[in-house]
Structure 1
Amino acid sequence: PCSKLEVRNFTKAFLPVAYSLICIIGLVGNTFVVMTFALYERTKSMTDVYLLNMAIADILFVLTLPLWAVNYATHEWIFGDFICKITRGVYAINFSCGMLLLAFISVDRYIAIVQATKSFKLRARTLAHSKLICLAVWVSSILISTSSFLYSESYSFSTNETKKICDQRFDRMSESIMLKSLLLCLQVGFGFFIPFIFMIFCYTFIVKSLQQAQNSKKNKAIRVIVLIVAVFLVCQVPYNIVLLMTAINMGKIDKSCESDKIMAYAKYTTEAIAFLHCCMNPVLYAFIGVKFRSYFVKIMKDLCCMRYKKYNKRGSRTNSDVYHSKQSSETLTDNGSSFTM
């Protein structure tokens, strides 16, 4: 048997710290995104609707990370079978839902910028059906993730081991290999290749359109687009390559112990990097927007005013300013968005 004591020591030291930091940063960032949309009702475009749903999906995901941090710190799943199913299911839903929403954001930006002459009517119709579109994304993600709820359970890894793990479990070895390979391929397909294709297609035409436009802000917009794609690739490419190699090598009996260890190190490291993307989403898709950032600053000012009673009068003026700002912003066309390039 291949002893992976070094890998276990590595995960025990690295993953609890990494998951805890990702949980804190991701929870704070995405909560502020939801608060901003809730307080200022800025769902004036499809991008806003997608951002709100993506933030909710990321919050659900990061709330499961403390459980995995404890799991890797103790090298045992202590939360029972039901929590195991919920935790793995929420992870699978977030993975599919978040990436599909990224793809739809790319399409919406493409329509708004490249198809600018047609975008007003087209996006107005699309916004009217925004709830149905997001519902379809959530339902599709849940259907794709059904196997995680059905097959995940807490069980002992071997007859000589009393500690339990939380993983997908199948009745027969042949069934296990086939289904696990299929699930990994679905995860790579929906979690990387589909969003990647949409992003490359849409952002390529967006950059071309911005280069042709006589706009002083086009260079900044292009840098933002390059940054979005670069962060997506850095976070997702390594992890999905490891998943693809795992699916290809699954079932092979001639694998060496050293290669198994290398793949284990690669999986845990790249997985943590991929999880960072839920922390980057609020920064990349929300806080870089000028309008969104201004609303966020106003929220922080309002919270500060609430903390200090001696500024109650000033707080009333701030709230009045926020109200007038909100009223004036609503006179913008439906093409407006809190996400701006």
Structure 2
Amino acid sequence: MENISMDFLSNSSRRSENGSIPEVIPNFYLALPIIYSIICAVGLTGNTAVIYVILKAPKMKSVTNMFILNLAIADELFTLVLPINIVDYLLLQWPFGEFMCKLIVSIDEYNTFSSIYFLTIMSIDRYLVVVATVESKKLSFRTYRAAKIVSLCVWSFVTIIILPFIVFAKIHQDEGRLQCLFVFPYPEDLWWKMSRIYTLIMGFAIPVSTICILYSMMLYKLRRMRLNSNAKALDKAKKKVTFMVAVILIVCLFCWTPYHFSTVVALTTDIPQTPFVIAISFFITSLSYANSCLNPFLYAFLDDNFRKSFRKLVECRSS
């Protein structure tokens, strides 16, 4: 088994810093540890607050918040291990052994896949709520307990998806340095392309297509409701929740679309590894990392219950 060099635009995960490092490191590389540290600090603080509020505040026990809780857990796990990526980047090699290599890769991939699949579940939930409201029906199966079961199913499904990445993540000596890379069997090039296509389809094409279809159907039903029906419009609370889910989805796509678009570019174009191209790659990687610290701010700005519950919990602790 031989290693496929981890191309900065076409690596199989977001761990682009684990590839062959150019001998001359441009100045913009020096900013990356700072950017990653900021993402880590903000992400840990924000996601910890989200997890604490949802678990402690009685008013936050809702179906949507159960899915938001799992999103926050995925982001929290990733930001917890981000310092290891920073150390790896600064040392230009992997000093933590193969077990940690597989563990960090698995958490990285959990974050990659779980975020988009929990957003897909949240979109399905919003669609069911809108349809039930339009048709004046009750969703008796939509309970907090059911949301827990669905969340467990999502984690199980994502675990199955990321198993190949865990298998292929290994320590490999590259130019005298130990690197945590994906080591593919022969023919390496074919396996590398298959891994990229697999990530593109399972981590982007299928869930995003599902979300787009659901929101299109949702908008169609709402339009029909206004034009052809005497049914009551969505109440204010449901509108706010639907809007919040939509904004979270838009921000997620904004952060992740360049990463998945780079997959298409890597599969169809032979791009030379110039400093400019590498800089773009690191920017794309940082943008996908940033998604892990943005969601808590969206909850704080868009969810009145979250703000009130957070304020109340802080006041209780201070008193």
Q: TM-score, normalised by structure 2?
A: 0.79
Matched to 1:234, the amino acid is: F
- Structure 2 match to 1:320: none
Cα gap change, 1:200 to 1:283, in 2 (>3 Å): farther
Distance 2:103 2:262 in 1: 25
Report SS of the residue matched to 1:78: coil
- Structure 2 match to 1:21: 38
- Where structure 1 has 5 or more consecutive residues not aligned to the other structure, the ranges are 250-254, 306-341
8 Å contact kept, 1:12–1:75: no
Report SS of the residue matched to 2:139: helix
1:135-214 to 2 correspondences below 5 Å = 135-157=152-174, 161-172=175-186, 174=187, 176-207=188-219, 212=226
**Deviation of the 1:224 alpha carbon:** 4.8
Give per-residue Cα distances to partners, 1:141-183, cap 9 Å, x unaligned.
11111122211122211xxx322211111243x1x22222222
Structure 2 residue 61 is the aligned partner of structure 1 residue 4? no
| Deviates most, 217-226 or 15-24 | 217-226
Distance 2:121 2:115 in 1: 10
Task: Calculate the aligned-residue CA RMSD, in Å.
Answer: 2.9
- Structure 1 match to 2:110: 93
Report SS of the residue matched to 2:137: helix
- Structure 1 match to 2:291: 277
Q: TM-score, normalised by structure 1?
A: 0.75
Matched to 1:118, the amino acid is: K
Distance 2:235 2:67 in 1: 28
Identity of aligned residues (%): 27
Cα gap change, 1:99 to 1:266, in 2 (>3 Å): same
- Structure 1 match to 2:265: 245
Distance 2:277 2:314 in 1: 44
8 Å contact kept, 2:123–2:214: yes
8 Å contact kept, 2:185–2:191: no
**Deviation of the 1:225 alpha carbon:** 6.1
8 Å contact kept, 2:51–2:73: yes
Distance 1:110 1:295 in 2: 26
1:39-54 to 2 correspondences below 5 Å = 39-42=56-59, 44-54=61-71
**Deviation of the 1:66 alpha carbon:** 0.7
Give per-residue Cα distances to partners, 1:22-42, cap 9 Å, x unaligned.
111111111111111221245
Cα gap change, 1:203 to 1:286, in 2 (>3 Å): farther
Larger relative contact order (CA 8 Å, sep ≥ 6): 2
- Where structure 2 has 5 or more consecutive residues not aligned to the other structure, the ranges are 1-19, 227-231
Give per-residue Cα distances to partners, 1:215-243, cap 9 Å, x unaligned.
79599778656644432332111111002
**Deviation of the 1:267 alpha carbon:** 2.3
Matched to 2:129, the amino acid is: A
8 Å contact kept, 2:26–2:275: no
**Deviation of the 1:248 alpha carbon:** 3.9
Regions of 4+ moved over 6 Å: 218-223
Give per-residue Cα distances to partners, 1:264-307, cap 9 Å, x unaligned.
333221111011111122233565212122111111212222xx
**Deviation of the 1:130 alpha carbon:** 2.8
- Structure 1 match to 2:309: 295
Cα gap change, 1:25 to 1:109, in 2 (>3 Å): same
Distance 1:169 1:3 in 2: 17
**Deviation of the 1:214 alpha carbon:** 5.1
Give per-residue Cα distances to partners, 1:31-59, cap 9 Å, x unaligned.
11111122124564331221111111111
Higher Rg of the two aligned structures:
1
Aligned residue pairs: how many? 290
